[in-house]
Amino acid sequence: MIRDDLFKVFRHFKTVGGQGLLPSNVFAVAGRILKQYTNEQIVNEINNLEADGLVIANDNSITLTDQGEMYVWGEFVLQNGIRDFMNIFRHFNTKAGQILLFSNILAVKYEKLSPLSNKHLEEIVTACQQLGYIQEGNNCLILSESGHNYIYGD
């Protein structure tokens, strides 16, 4: 169905609510994802998505709404975001009491976190601090003993 295939384009570009795509981006991947549809069919479906409140479209961008985000990615679950974020510490083999530089987190966040987790990263970090998994240091995060136990199950 063309609607689902258009949303594959948003997933391809890891787009979340409030973020837009250039129309040229949509048509650039059309050959791979939307090849069975004509340009007219694609434009008509974008107009339908806008009428349904899933995107905001103009000549410059096609922006995913929060409702559209739910259609593409589902609901954000904080526990999943915490799990994904804490796995960044595992990726760097961080142990209790060791630091992880913000620059290291930034270097892998798009690879290791889902688009929804990236969108809610500040909320996730705050939750990890409140759970006692991490503490903020100078340009870094410090893994606590309970954070270590959460990651490695010790």
Per-residue model confidence as pLDDT tens digits over 42-78: 999 999 999 999 999 998 999 999 999 999 999 999 9
Same domain, 90 and 51: no
Residues 146 and 82 in one domain: yes
pLDDT at 100 over 90: yes
pLDDT band, residue 27 (cuts 50/70/90): confident
- My answer on whether 93 and 148 are in the same domain is yes
Number of domains in the chain: 2
CA 16: distance to chain centroid? 7
At residue 154, the pLDDT reads: 67
Do 19 and 54 share a domain, yes or no?
yes
User: Is there a single domain that holds both residue 86 and residue 26?
Assistant: no
In a shared domain, residues 61 and 89: no
Q: CATH number, domain at 130? A: 1.10.10
pLDDT of residue 32: 85
Q: Which residues contact 16 (CB under 8 A, 6 or more apart)?
A: 64, 69, 73, 115, 116, 118, 119
For the residues 20-29, what does the mean pLDDT come to?
87
Res. 145: pLDDT tops 70: yes
Same domain? For 60 and 123 the reply is no
Which has more pLDDT, 38 or 134?
134
Mean per-residue pLDDT, 78-89: 97
Please tell me whether residues 31 and 96 are part of one structural domain: no
| Mean of the per-residue pLDDT values of the chain | 94
Same domain, 57 and 94: no
What percent of the chain lies above the pLDDT cut of 70?
99
- Inter-helix orientation angle 78-91/121-130, to 10°: 80
Question: Of the candidates 73, 91, 112, which is a domain's last residue?
Answer: 73
Same domain, yes or no, for 147 and 85?
A: yes
Domain boundary among 73, 103, 136: 73
Listed residue (29, 28, 62, 32) closest to 45, CA to CA = 62
- Please tell me whether residues 91 and 62 are part of one structural domain: no
Whether the pLDDT of residue 82 is over 70: the answer is yes
Amino acid at 115: P
**Span 109-133, pLDDT tens digits:** 999 999 999 999 999 999 999 999 9
Last residue of a domain, one of 73, 99, 122: 73
The span from the CA of 72 to the CA of 136, in Å, is: 33
How many helices (H) and strands (E) the chain has is answered by 10, 6
Map tokens 């954070």 to a residue: 147
Residues 143 and 92 in one domain: yes
Domain that residue 138 falls in: 78-152
Q: Which helix (H) or strand (E) holds 54?
A: none
Confidence of residue 35 (pLDDT cuts 50, 70, 90): confident
